[in-house]
Amino acid sequence: MSAYDYDLFVLGAGSGGVRASRVAASHGAKVGICEESRVGGTCVIRGCIPKKLMVYGAHFKDEFENASAYGWNVESVTFDWSTLISNRDKEIDRLNQLYIGLLHDAGVDLFSSHGSIRDAHTVQMNDGTQVRTQNILIATGGVPSLPKIPGIENAVTSNEVFHLRSLPKQIVIVGGGYIACEFASIFNGLGANVVQLYRGSMILRGFDKDIQKFVYQEMIKKGVEIRLNCEVSKIQNSNDHLNVALTNDNTITTDVVLYATGRKPNTANLGLELAGIHLNDRGAVIVDEWSRSSVQSVYAVGDVTDRINLTPVALNEGLCFAETTYGNCPRRMDHINVASAVFSDPTVGSVGMTEDWARKEFGNIDVYLSTFRPLKHTMTGRDEKTMMKIVVARQSQRVVGVHMAGADAAEIIQGIAIAVKMGATKAEFDATIGIHPTAAEEFVTMRKKCSD
């Protein structure tokens, strides 16, 4: 008789945890998983999916305006916040039930509770239930990070913003990363007056510098007020509105303040220190290339490890862990050339190195850059541009970075990412025949280098 109740017990039923659980169970492991919130995790419940549905909703405003140029007479267009939110929530409920069903069908035992680690082989739930398990997987994701300023309790985060009862007329969004830019574009598209505050000198830190500047300019053209080098000192609740005091002594009056200043690993109250599991200075679980922590029987995947905080990465890390540990098929997650997207308006798609990163890595590089008006807007007259950029290591002529901002950028970059992952050269891009007329064909027709 086994000394353990489970072969694997997972903390957190988000993307990485669910994937690891199902794959491990498919290889014959007895698996349990606990989740104190809804099954599906940040991506499904309060992240990627509900956000993308709201992005779709926000784009209709421009589409209705563009329609007249193509002969459509669209009259009496109105927007109803409650309809959008109700239909979005129905889809999230469906996905939540789907994930629960996937766990059930895989034979994974689900505990609707917070779990913490008591030792290398013991997990305890809030109700006092303890399980003994051969291995533990931490997949608790991340949580919003908030500064300690007076009145911060008056702000909402990227969790609560999905549950606003009505569309605010005025909203202040604090932050310059992808979450802040996405929600700024969403609320602007839905008709709110948006002021975005960022303490840095340019939004989208970490992205290519030309992408940063381009998105900044395009968002401003679309009506988002972006204030750079700007910080909040306090937030004061004044009955029916909020007063946001800035460090430059200015004050903004608004209905809602959304703090989107980043997320941190969700490792609090898990008993990790008690179990001897090492964390880094950001509170992330330190793991090796096999996702194993400092404790032999404890692993971690996803945002809780603070490697690359993207849902597809968590899914793949979970898969690699389960295949290695239970499928007799050793696999390590390759974190090189992982593509990403920002669903701001304009959308950003990116894979590989930025220009600055490539210069530091290779010294001599070739850069190809193209900015143009999409064919669609030659008839609408809208002042909307698309930007594309290719970064090439000069000596090898390998394409080491591709970046785009504009309509369908995420969809286009997904295909380009395959070529970059395979090590394609600029000559191979050039030899590829484009699909005409599309924006994507620009990536295989750019011939003129930018000057050094």
Strands (E), 26-72: 31-34
- Check: CB of residue 390 under 8 Å from CB of residue 401: yes
Structure tokens at 4: 């353990």
3-class DSSP assignment, residue 87: helix
For residue 7, give the nearest of 333, 321, 332, 330 by alpha carbon: 321
- Check: CB of residue 114 under 8 Å from CB of residue 138: no
Beta-bridge partners for 125: 115
CA distances from 101 to 42, 141, 441 (A): 18, 21, 42
> What burial class does residue 78 get, using C-beta atoms within 10 Å of its C-beta: 0-12 exposed, 13-18 middle, 19+ buried?
exposed
HSE-CB at 101 with a 13 A cutoff on CA atoms is 6
3-class DSSP assignment, residue 75: coil
Task: Report the C-alpha gap between 178 and 343 in whole angstroms.
Answer: 8
For residue 443, what is the DSSP state? G
Length of the chain: 452
Is 436 noted as a catalytic residue in this protein? yes
Could you tell me where the DSSP H helices lie in 222-340? 311-326
CB under 8 Å to 150, separation ≥6 — which residues? 233, 234, 235, 236
Active site residue: 114, 241, 377, 436, which one?
A: 436
CA distances from 327 to 22, 71, 250, 437 (A): 12, 58, 59, 46
Structure tokens at 185: 């574009």
- Check: CB of residue 140 under 8 Å from CB of residue 277: no
- The residues that are catalytic are 436
